[in-house]
Structures are given as C-alpha cells and as structure tokens.
Structure 1
Amino acid sequence: MFRDGARKSMWQEEIKRFSADENINEKNFDVIIVGGGITGVSTALELQKRGKKCLLIEASNIGFGTTGGTTAHLNTFFDTTFDEAINDFGEDQAKLLANVGTEAIEIIQENISQYQIDCDFEKKIGYIFALDEKQNNKLEKMVEAAEKVGINMKFCNGVSFPVSFVSVASVSDQAQFHPIKYIKKLAEVFISLGGSILEDCTCISHSEEENSITVETSKGNFNAENLVYATHIPPGVNVLHLMAAPYRSYVIAFEIENNKYSEELMYDLYDPYRYYRTHVVNDQKLLIAGGEDHKTGHEEDTGICFSNLENYVRKYFNVGAAVYSWSSQYYEPVDGMPYIGKLPGSKGNIYAATGFRGNGMIFGTISSKVISDLITENKNKYKKLFDPGRIKPVAGFTSFVKENTTSATDFIKDKLFKEKISSLAELNDGEAKVVKYEGGSYAIYKETEGKTHVLKSTCPHTYCDVRWNSAEKSWDCPCHGSRFAINGKLLNAPSTDGLQRIYFNENEDKENI
C-alpha cells in the first residue's frame, strides 16, 4: 500500500495495493463516494447495504491518506474536550457528542464480528496525564465535564508512567485496531455486495442539477443522485476551506526494550499533546508515540519535529531502534466540532465529512451512519450538531480565487534561464528550495542522483506559494493543505491538479503524474 508521504507507516506492511476494478462500464449510480479512507469505505459499505448502488473513487489507493497514517486510537473522549463542548454548544449537545465514541466503537465491533475481520482490535483503558499544575487544572475541568455528559473519566492512583506527572485520570472502554486490515475487509465486503471501486481515479470537479450530479474524473464522467466527499477536505474551492485548517502530526514506532510499558492508551496534556500505545507488527511489539503537531506548511524544518519527538521519548522511555516514522494530515474545525452532512452551497445532494481533528477513526466511522441516514431518511440525531452549514461564510468568500484545473507544462529553451535558476538554487543532492526569478516563483528539488525537478511554486488551488516539507519530501501548501510530490504530482486535496512542471527541452522524460 502506498501513502501520501516519503516515510513508511507501520500499517503499510499489510497490503501494497487494493485489488479494484480497472474499468467501470456503468456510468450511473445512486451514490458516488470520493475518498478511500475509513470514512469513504465505511460510508460506501453502509449505503450499499441499504440498497444503494455505489461507486467509490480514490485518487491513489485505499488507505492512501490519513487512514494509512493514523495511530488508530479509538476514544470516547476527543480533542475538543467536553467542558469546551458544554461552553460552546450547551450541555445537551455535549451529551450528544458523548454518545459518538461509544456508538462508533460499537459499529466497528459489529463489523468485525459480522465480517470476521482480523484487525488486532483490543479494548483498552485510556490514561490522561497532567504533567504540571496548569495541565492538572485542565484535567480537573475535563473530569468534571465528563461526569456531566456520562463519560466514565475519573482520577486514579498507582498508574505507571515514565514521565513525572501531577495527576492522572482513567477512561474505560477505549480501544485500538489495525486500520488498514479493517478497511481492506470492508472494501472486499462492499464489492461482494455489488459496489464498485476505482483506484488511481482523481475527482476533478462536479456539476449539480436539481436531482442529478455529474462527476468529472480522470477516468471519465459518472452520474449519481448523491455525491459524498469523504476526503481531507472537499476538492476544488468550497467555503469549508475557510472553516478548517490543515495540520500535520508526527509518529515514531520504537522497539521496546524488554517489552516494558503499559499495554493501555496514554496521553499527556502538553500543547500539542503527545500520545502513546503499543502494537505488535511482524511478531514485534512496538511503542507508538505521536505528537509535535503544527499547521501544514508552517514549519520550516519538518525533520526537527521527528527529532524533537524522538529525543523526548528517549529521555523518558527505555526504547530501542525507531523502526517506523511518518507524519499524517488532519483538519482542525474553527469551532472544534467536525463537519458531517450536506455541503454548504450545494442543492442538498452533496455531502462532506471533514474537520475531525485527531479523532479521525471515530468521526470517520460515525460519518458512515450520519451520511447514510441523511441520504436514505433525511434525518439523524447528530444532524444539527455536525451540520457543516452551522458556520456561515466569512465576508469576502465570493471573491475567493477560483481554482485553475488546467494541467500545464512549460518548455523553456532559454539557456540563461536554466543557468540562473540553478545558480539561485545552489542545491546539494536531496535538497529543495523556492526561488524567485523575473517575477516568477519556482519550487526546485535535486534528487540524490542529480536529476533536478523544477516546478511553478504556485498551488493551483488558490495560488498560495508551496513550502518544502523535508521530512516527507513533499511541497505543502500553507493555506489549505494541498500537497504535492517532488515531480508535482498531487498528493492531497483540495487542489485537483498538480504543480506546473518546467522542462528545459522537449526530450526530457514527461512521465504521467
């Protein structure tokens, strides 16, 4: 299985690529689902079970995005704490939110049981550690609010944790699993029920009539009554891009010396918080540690994030080699609550699910129930709480720059231009830089064997300049989170097109990207 970064996650050992249909002769469907992570696969299966004829399209391969880069904690508490939810949405809505984790874990367990999925699912206790008095004050508010909404979070004693802490609270009925083993089986069941999957199929755009939607893709046009964007953020230009900000989180999986450390789920309250759990891969137990989150494209040296995380873990934990290290992307909603439901600005037949913060496995799973209910029954108990339309567009959205969806390549034969670009960059092998020249901005990367990639540095989405991500060897947009490979290939929406490439003669390799 491939994913959206140069670094390999521990879940990629499971599959290289999902075996999906190469060509779909049928053009008309009840529902088209865009995105092959846990949200898209779970939603496609649920709708197919309800008698809908579904097509799932994925720009790369199943599990390519966040699902292939998650740490797969399954929680009944969230990054938006219950005291924050009570303050912002009221106690009744906070109590409704408290149902989500339990219901999502039940859905996962039901699927595991019904379809006999071997995905390393385990129930766990979660422990939240306050490392100083400020964090302790926050934990006290969390415990008090959890009691109000019916979540069993309580202070406890006698818990082992190598980092010095002031207090700790436990939360029962948490869980963990192997996300790729899980969605791989769901995808197989989806196909067995008559569903269709197209991998390596990019959703370029959609056009919506009153009762029908035409979806333009890299493999042709398809028609549907309903469209679901189960992506990081809906591709193209949409108001949700102003309501959710992209973030990256970093993960390292270490060999555990003498198999020490708790088998449970552990979290501190540092900002951004760090989180830990164990998992057995290839008969080897590993400690998975995550943290060092920052806004996408806003960290000059992303490699330092891995270094900081590793140094912190090694300072307190007795661990061996770092076997895997990777980063992953998620979106922060402006008010702390995910957006699951009808897409703002649509005629009511297009749906979106995004803004999950660090709780993607839970909110992705509950999205399958929410969206399926809205499509088949036009109601769901979480409809109001997660309604993407609850946030109104900010002033100026109508002048939001439209996306350029035209793939382009420039052929430049000017020897002076090539020499000047090379001179401005002055790159060693494996280095990258954005340089300005004669009013243009260029993203340049030099491979270890000396081949140089020159791209226009302007993201096609809304024309922000991309920035180099040294850890994942990608060009990341700091505005809305689009990401691109060294050759300009699109890795993550909302852009629907890659970066414009520059060739210095027409005989250079112009591989399809």
Structure 2
Amino acid sequence: MIHRDGNCTSLWQDHTGIYKSDRDVADHHYDVIVIGGGITGISTALLLQEAGKKCLVLEARNLCFGTTGGTTAHLNTLLDTPYTTISKNFGEENAALVARATKEAIELINTNCKRYLIDCDFMEADAFLFAQDEKQERELEDIRKASEAAGLDVRYTTGIPVPIPFTKAMQAKGQAKFNPTLYVHGLARVFEELGGAIVQECPVQAIEKNDRMEVITIKGRFSAVDIVYATHIPPGINLLHLRCAPWRSYAMAVTLENDQYPEDLAYDMHDPYNYYRTQVVDGQKYLVAGGMDHKTGHEEETGRCFRELESIVRQHFPVREVCYRWSSQYFEPADGLPYIGHLPGEQEHIFVATGYSGNGMVYSSVAALLLRQLILQEPSPYTELFDPNRIKPVAGFTNFIKHNADVVKQFAEKFLPAENIPGLSALAPGEGKVVKYEDQKLAVYKSESGEVHAIHPVCTHMRCDVKWNSAERSWDCPCHGARYDVDGNVLTGPADRALEKVGVSTLATEQGRH
C-alpha cells in the first residue's frame, strides 16, 4: 500500500504498492527537474523525456502521496467551474479553449493507456448533471447553453444513471474515468525506460539560481536549466498563495446489495455538490461517492462530513458495506481557471501548475501539455489563458478579497486566548486540540495508547494557527492549506518546514507542577 497525506485510507492507495525505481540515480545534471511525483509531475516529465529532454523527478515522499492518491478520479470536460462562469470571466472564445484543452487532456490519457499498455481501467463515460427544483433547472439551462457554446456535446435526457429523484437532467458526452495511481505508476515506468530518473523520499530544501538552477535536497544537489513545481501548490511564499484557496473534499467507496452500479458519472447541483461513479478494483465493483466540501481548517468536526455523506449515499443506494472513507485537498483559483506557466516573481526558468479546483485529474494533463510547449518554446493557444501572472481586476475579484480577508481574520485570531482546557487529561484518546498552556498555545494530540504529541501551532508558512482535523488526524492551516502530522511534519505544502515540536517529557513534567 502506498502512503498518503492523511490518516484515512483511500480506495486507490490500498490497492497500489509503493513504486520501486529500476534505476540508480548517479547523474546530478539535467535539462529539467520536476518537483512532485503526482499525476502532474509524472505526466509532465514523461512528455518532456519523449521530446528529448533529460528529466529528473524529485518526490518528497512516494509517488501519489498527495491528492493523486486521494482523488475520486473523474475525467471531465464538464467542469466544477461551469462554462457560464468561465464565459463571464474570460469570454466565450476562451471558454471554448478551456473545453478544447480538457478534451485534449482526456485524449492524452487515453492515448498513453493504449500506447504504453497501461492497465488502469480507463473507460469512456458520459456525465449527467441533474436538477432537483425550479431554481436548479434555470441554472441547468444556463449551463447547458454555455457548455454547448463552448463545444461540448450536451443534451437533455429523461434518465440518469443513479437512483436519485430529479426534475431535469443534462447529459455530456466525451467524459471518462480511471484508476489514478495505476496510471501514474504506469507512466513512471515508461518514463524510466526512456531514460528518465525518479528519486523518492527526497524533500527539496532549497533552490539556488546560479548559471543553472541548483536544487538542494537531503540526497544531494541536482542542477537543471528548468524547474517545474508540480507540488499541488508551490512551497514558500508567493502571489499564488493569495490567489488560491485550499478546500477539502470527502469521499467513500461502498459495495451495494443489488449490484446495480452506475456506469456513468453523475452530479447533483447542490453547493457543495455530491457526485457518484463506479470503479472496479481487483475484480470488485465499488460505488465511489464524494462531496461535503469545505475550506481547509474551517470545519470543527470533520468526522461529521463523513457521517453526512454516508447518510446521503444510504438514502439512495442499498449499501452493503462502507469499505473506504477518505478526504483530500484541492486549491480553488480566484477566477475559476488554473495557473499554469511561469511562477510569478521568479525568473523565466521556473514553472508552476496549481489551482485545479476539483478537476485535478484532467487539468494535470492540460498542465503537462502546456508546460511541455513552454519549456520547448513552442507556441500554444493556452499560454495567456492559464498564465499565473494574469491580472484580472474584475474576474474573481470578490473571491480574491473574500479569501484574503479570511486570512487576515485568522492572523488576528492568533492573538486571542485559546479555549481554556482544565488539563491534558481532558483530551480523549485520538483527540487533538490547541490548548492554552501558561503563556503560550500548544497543539496537543493524545494517541489511542495515551501518548501525548505536542507542537507549537503556528504554521511555518505565513504564521497562522493550525486547526485539528479529526477525520485525517492532522493539523491543517486555515489560511493557505499547509497540513502537518501529529508530530508537526509537513504533509501538504505550501509550508516547507515542520512545526516546532515540544518534547513530551518536558510537557509532562510541567503539567505535573500545576
């Protein structure tokens, strides 16, 4: 089983072994270094290696450790940000470009599966978006018109693939689904066969800009002409952290009593919406359902999200067993489109891909195709559309202000007195809390065996206080989405340094004095 950035086990990670490289990495000089071993990083590295570039992938943990191992793996041109919004913010011509780019991304995944014989259960499917009241029907009609204008093959339909009441529904052709971890491992194997190099368990510590880009890691120094951050969100402090809001989404895989599994993709129109599909893994069918999204660190009891999602699934499906529950993170861009291209504030040889919203599986291949063109200095119709340096004073401005006003609020709350807890004995096994301890705050977790883990709760990224995530047993930053394990080690960027750990013995001694 692969490791992932959470306490819960996803369907994908439980059925995928750790990727083992066939090559020893002796060379330290490359054309391109890709930082991040998820679907974006491996897809980009393979395309560049195919084009004749000498590439290295550096992964801090194991391949698919992040969101790739926790996605629900929908491949869609019918996007989370509807074409009504994209057309309003960017114009109809650019909305058509988005539809074209995502269609090309799905075609790339399909081509890779066929060309390299990657057995990841890739299947073409239709997507169904359904309304359940008059207000949603009006919204659905607007989405249908905008989607059709953008070039999608959409139509109204009298049936949907899930047993959920609806009043009106739209069907979109040209969608797909797959097993993301098997796909990435298949790409990685081909990448190495073509001469590419992968180093896992290799966190990047710093980048120095000399004649070439110098990447400093715990396993030595590596140099390259170009660097690609495929880390979901770039580390450190950058303008993109103010343009991307971190969100968490919840998923579960269940088996059904009646074996009536939907073959296509289905989405309701609630906000946040719920979504459904089927996946076969090792011969077993699973209904995969997702939803209950919220901003990272803004849900006090994350276990409630799993309970409510399960309640919705059981309301409509005859569930035999809930086999897997997990959550994952995505970053919502301020204006609805991802940021792919040159990293803002850096020189031309540093690239980034982030802000995928809930469509990371398809935008990862959009990013790979565009980054390949940028690095090879080839023309692309998508360069300006996805440019991370784009400045749009109208599109997304309200979301931009809302997110960053909330960040200011979190900074202010840092100086407020924390909840007054009588003592560490009040913590239940498996519980974590930020407590007031003398004149400082401590983030304290008590394991099931009673062992106490204590850290300083100030995020190392931009100094917000972290919040406890009971579902994944992690400390999550509500400002820019950094996440840490119970010992303060980084699970998810943009933080690149661990939280300061407080010795448990010292804490216990001090506790005994009061």
Query: What TM-score does the superposition give when structure 2 sets the normalisation length?
Result: 0.91
Number of the residue aligned with 1:227: 227
Number of the residue aligned with 1:313: 313
Q: How far apart in 1 are the matches of 2:208 and 2:391?
A: 24
| CA shift in 2, pair 1:177/1:71, >3 Å | same
Deviation, structure 1 residue 285: 1.1
Q: How far apart in 2 are the matches of 1:22 and 1:203?
A: 20
Q: How far apart in 2 are the matches of 1:102 and 1:504?
A: 53
The one-letter code sitting in structure 2 at the alignment partner of 1:273 is: Y
Given that 1:21 and 1:198 are in contact with CA atoms closer than 8 Å, whether structure 2 keeps it comes out as no
Q: How far apart in 1 are the matches of 2:161 and 2:329?
A: 31
Number of the residue aligned with 1:200: 201
Q: How far apart in 1 are the matches of 2:142 and 2:392?
A: 30
Q: Deviations over 1:272-312 (max 9, x none)?
A: 11110011123221111000000001100000000010011
The one-letter code sitting in structure 2 at the alignment partner of 1:333 is: P
The one-letter code sitting in structure 2 at the alignment partner of 1:10 is: L
**Secondary structure of the corresponding residue to residue 258 of structure 2:** helix
Q: How far apart in 2 are the matches of 1:43 and 1:178?
A: 18
Number of the residue aligned with 1:33: 34
Q: Deviations over 1:338-396 (max 9, x none)?
A: 0001111111110000000111010001111100110012532110100000037999x
Number of the residue aligned with 2:136: 135
- The within-5 A match list for 1:119-268 is 119-159=120-160, 161-209=162-210, 212-268=212-268
| CA shift in 2, pair 1:172/1:501, >3 Å | same
| CA shift in 2, pair 1:425/1:389, >3 Å | farther
- The within-5 A match list for 1:300-379 is 300-379=300-379
The one-letter code sitting in structure 1 at the alignment partner of 2:452 is: T
Number of the residue aligned with 1:118: 119
Deviation, structure 1 residue 21: 6.9
Structure 1 regions of 5+ residues with no counterpart?
Answer: 402-419, 509-513
Deviation, structure 1 residue 505: 4.8
Number of the residue aligned with 1:67: 68
Number of the residue aligned with 1:18: 19
Given that 2:15 and 2:281 are in contact with CA atoms closer than 8 Å, whether structure 1 keeps it comes out as no
Deviation, structure 1 residue 136: 1.1
Q: How far apart in 2 are the matches of 1:391 and 1:439?
A: 43
The yes-or-no answer on 1:48 pairing with 2:49 is yes
Number of the residue aligned with 2:272: 272
**Secondary structure of the corresponding residue to residue 26 of structure 1:** coil
Q: Deviations over 1:471-500 (max 9, x none)?
A: 000000111111111111110111011111
Deviation, structure 1 residue 224: 1.1
The one-letter code sitting in structure 2 at the alignment partner of 1:249 is: S
**Secondary structure of the corresponding residue to residue 385 of structure 2:** helix
Deviation, structure 1 residue 201: 1.0
The one-letter code sitting in structure 2 at the alignment partner of 1:282 is: D
The one-letter code sitting in structure 1 at the alignment partner of 2:143 is: M
Given that 2:38 and 2:66 are in contact with CA atoms closer than 8 Å, whether structure 1 keeps it comes out as yes
Q: How far apart in 1 are the matches of 2:467 and 2:23?
A: 34
Q: How far apart in 2 are the matches of 1:158 and 1:487?
A: 50
| CA shift in 2, pair 1:425/1:349, >3 Å | farther
Number of the residue aligned with 1:6: 7
Deviation, structure 1 residue 421: 9.0
Q: How far apart in 2 are the matches of 1:376 and 1:338?
A: 21
The one-letter code sitting in structure 1 at the alignment partner of 2:360 is: G
The one-letter code sitting in structure 2 at the alignment partner of 1:201 is: C
Q: How far apart in 1 are the matches of 2:345 and 2:159?
A: 53
Out of 322-331 and 27-36, give the one that drifted further: 27-36
| CA shift in 2, pair 1:212/1:109, >3 Å | same
Deviation, structure 1 residue 425: 6.2
Number of the residue aligned with 2:501: 501
Deviation, structure 1 residue 23: 6.3
Q: How far apart in 2 are the matches of 1:441 and 1:330?
A: 28
Given that 1:421 and 1:437 are in contact with CA atoms closer than 8 Å, whether structure 2 keeps it comes out as no
Number of the residue aligned with 1:417: none
Deviation, structure 1 residue 13: 3.0
Q: How far apart in 1 are the matches of 2:474 and 2:342?
A: 32
Q: How far apart in 2 are the matches of 1:437 and 1:21?
A: 50
Q: Which runs of 4+ in 1 moved over 4 A?
A: 392-395
- Percent identity over paired residues: 48
Deviation, structure 1 residue 20: 2.8
| CA shift in 2, pair 1:247/1:504, >3 Å | closer
Number of the residue aligned with 2:95: 94
Given that 1:205 and 1:217 are in contact with CA atoms closer than 8 Å, whether structure 2 keeps it comes out as yes
**Secondary structure of the corresponding residue to residue 371 of structure 1:** helix
Given that 1:91 and 1:149 are in contact with CA atoms closer than 8 Å, whether structure 2 keeps it comes out as yes
Number of the residue aligned with 1:285: 285
Given that 1:425 and 1:433 are in contact with CA atoms closer than 8 Å, whether structure 2 keeps it comes out as no
Given that 2:160 and 2:266 are in contact with CA atoms closer than 8 Å, whether structure 1 keeps it comes out as no
Q: How far apart in 2 are the matches of 1:261 and 1:130?
A: 21
| CA shift in 2, pair 1:192/1:270, >3 Å | same
**Secondary structure of the corresponding residue to residue 458 of structure 2:** coil
Q: How far apart in 2 are the matches of 1:477 and 1:22?
A: 37
**Secondary structure of the corresponding residue to residue 386 of structure 1:** coil
Q: How far apart in 2 are the matches of 1:248 and 1:362?
A: 18
- The within-5 A match list for 1:388-427 is 388-391=388-391, 423=423, 426-427=426-427
Given that 2:340 and 2:388 are in contact with CA atoms closer than 8 Å, whether structure 1 keeps it comes out as yes
Query: What TM-score does the superposition give when structure 1 sets the normalisation length?
Result: 0.91
Given that 1:425 and 1:435 are in contact with CA atoms closer than 8 Å, whether structure 2 keeps it comes out as no
Q: How far apart in 1 are the matches of 2:149 and 2:482?
A: 39
The one-letter code sitting in structure 2 at the alignment partner of 1:91 is: E
**Secondary structure of the corresponding residue to residue 384 of structure 1:** coil
Number of the residue aligned with 2:479: 479
| CA shift in 2, pair 1:505/1:324, >3 Å | closer
The one-letter code sitting in structure 1 at the alignment partner of 2:444 is: I
The one-letter code sitting in structure 1 at the alignment partner of 2:67 is: T
Given that 1:124 and 1:264 are in contact with CA atoms closer than 8 Å, whether structure 2 keeps it comes out as yes
| CA shift in 2, pair 1:422/1:293, >3 Å | same
Number of the residue aligned with 2:511: none
| CA shift in 2, pair 1:392/1:153, >3 Å | closer
Deviation, structure 1 residue 159: 3.4
Q: Deviations over 1:393-414 (max 9, x none)?
A: 999x9xx99xxxxxxxxxxxxx
Q: How far apart in 1 are the matches of 2:62 and 2:206?
A: 19
